[in-house]
Amino acid sequence: MKFVIRAEGHPNVRATHKTTLEITKESYLTPRGSCIVGINAEIGISEIPQEIKGYLSLPEPVTITLELPEYGLKEKIMAFGDSRLSFKHPADIVVRKSSYTCGRTLAVRADKAAADLNREFVKLLRDKAKLLFVIEIPGKSTRV
DSSP string, 45-101: GGGS-HHHHHHHTSS-EEEEEEEETTTTEEEEEEEE--TT-----SSEEEEESSS--
Give the mean pLDDT per block of 10 residues along the chain (144 residues): 97 98 97 96 98 96 98 98 98 98 98 98 98 88 41
Q: Please report the pLDDT score of residue 141 as a whole number.
A: 44
* CATH among 2.60.120.630, 3.30.390.30, 2.60.120.10, 3.40.50.720 for 2-136: 2.60.120.630
For the chain, the domains span 2-136
| pTM passes above 0.85 | yes
Beta-carbon neighbour count of residue 89 at 10 Å?
19
Could you give the 3-state DSSP secondary structure of residue 123?
helix
Calculate the alpha carbon distances from 40 to 93, 100, 112, 142 in Å.
12, 25, 22, 25
